[in-house]
């Protein structure tokens, strides 16, 4: 898992509730990413950020929001607009200057369940 | 249709045996191909990365091959161990201005039995 931490490991959401997933890295990486993983499917990109105070939508951004106020932190909020939030959420970071071969380092993941 | 297809979906082998996992892709323009190992309930960990000019890359008992002409890759695991039980994910990156266009396969779930 490198220097990336995610919390909590498990998160339960009630109907109509917003929840926030934490992602912190001490790798001094500029770029950070949020993915969603569902059974039988490849990881899908939700949001990514190349630098502080800037972020871009990925393939499935609807119902999610992010912020990037610090280089080390990239929290993801799952809003009530996300109707099917049950999934395994993975955060990753990357050295933006490492070029195309630079690896993404993943956190241990947060499993979100709906009550 | 996913641009990265992996086969088989799942595989069970006996400890000590070899196995080969397959990855076919249509991602274009091609930049590089990675294989990741993901233990259950954990984040993926990189095993190998290959660019267009590399047709084989080894990491211990793991050997990846790439045929960029046919757009196929394989991951060969030699002398399997119980700790090899995991999902193996093929990831193909397209050339992009910010190196962020990565396409993930659904993975092959490998179970190694004693």
Is B93 in the A-facing interface, judged by CB distances under 8 Å? yes
Looking only at Cα atoms, what is the longest distance across chain A?
A: 42
Question: CB–CB of A103/A47 below 8 Å?
Answer: no
Is B26 in the A-facing interface, judged by CB distances under 8 Å? no
What is residue B97's predicted lDDT score, i.e. its pLDDT?
Answer: 67
- Above 80 in pLDDT, residue A100? no
Best B35, B36, B43 residue to mutate vs chain A (most A CBs within 10 Å):
B43
Whole-number average pLDDT of chain A: 92
What is residue B20's predicted lDDT score, i.e. its pLDDT?
Answer: 98
What is residue B35's predicted lDDT score, i.e. its pLDDT?
Answer: 97
What is residue B25's predicted lDDT score, i.e. its pLDDT?
Answer: 96
* Regions of chain B where pLDDT drops below 50: none
What is residue A98's predicted lDDT score, i.e. its pLDDT?
Answer: 78
- Above 80 in pLDDT, residue A5? yes
What is residue B96's predicted lDDT score, i.e. its pLDDT?
Answer: 77
For the stretch A41-78, pLDDT in tens is 889 999 999 999 999 999 999 999 999 999 999 999 99
Q: Flag if A1 and B42 touch (Cβ within 8 Å).
A: yes
What is residue B91's predicted lDDT score, i.e. its pLDDT?
Answer: 95
What is residue B21's predicted lDDT score, i.e. its pLDDT?
Answer: 98
What is residue A89's predicted lDDT score, i.e. its pLDDT?
Answer: 97
DSSP string for A23-78: EEE-S--SEEEEEEE-TTS--EEEEEEEETTEEEE-TT-TTEEE--SBTTB--EEE
Confidence band of A2 (pLDDT split at 50, 70, 90): low
Q: Flag if B95 and A90 touch (Cβ within 8 Å).
A: no
């Amino acid at each position: 898992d490198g220097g990336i931490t995610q919390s909590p490991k498990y998160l339960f959401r009630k109907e109509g509730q917003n929840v926030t997933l934490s992602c912190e890295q001490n790798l001094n990486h500029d770029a950070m990413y949020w993915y969603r993983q569902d059974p039988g499917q490849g990881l899908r990109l939700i949001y990514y950020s190349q630098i502080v105070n800037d972020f871009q939508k990925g393939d499935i951004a609807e119902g999610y929001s992010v912020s990037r106020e610090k280089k080390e932190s990239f929290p993801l909020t799952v809003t009530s607009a996300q109707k099917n939030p049950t999934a395994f959420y993975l955060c990753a970071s990357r050295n933006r200057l490492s070029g195309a071969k630079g690896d993404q380092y993943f956190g241990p993941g947060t499993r979100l369940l709906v009550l | 249709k996913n641009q990265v297809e992996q086969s088989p979906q799942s595989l069970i082998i006996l400890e000590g045996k070899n196995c080969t996992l397959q990855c076919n892709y249509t991602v274009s323009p091609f930049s590089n191909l990675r294989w990741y190992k993901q233990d259950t309930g954990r984040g993926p960990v990189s095993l190998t990365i290959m660019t267009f000019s590399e047709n084989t890359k080894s990491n211990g008992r793991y050997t990846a091959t790439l045929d960029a002409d046919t757009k196929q890759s394989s991951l060969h695991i030699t002398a399997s161990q119980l700790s090899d039980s995991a999902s193996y994910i093929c990831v193909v990156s397209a050339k992009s201005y910010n190196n962020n266009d990565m396409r993930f396969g659904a993975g092959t779930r490998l179970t190694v039995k004693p």
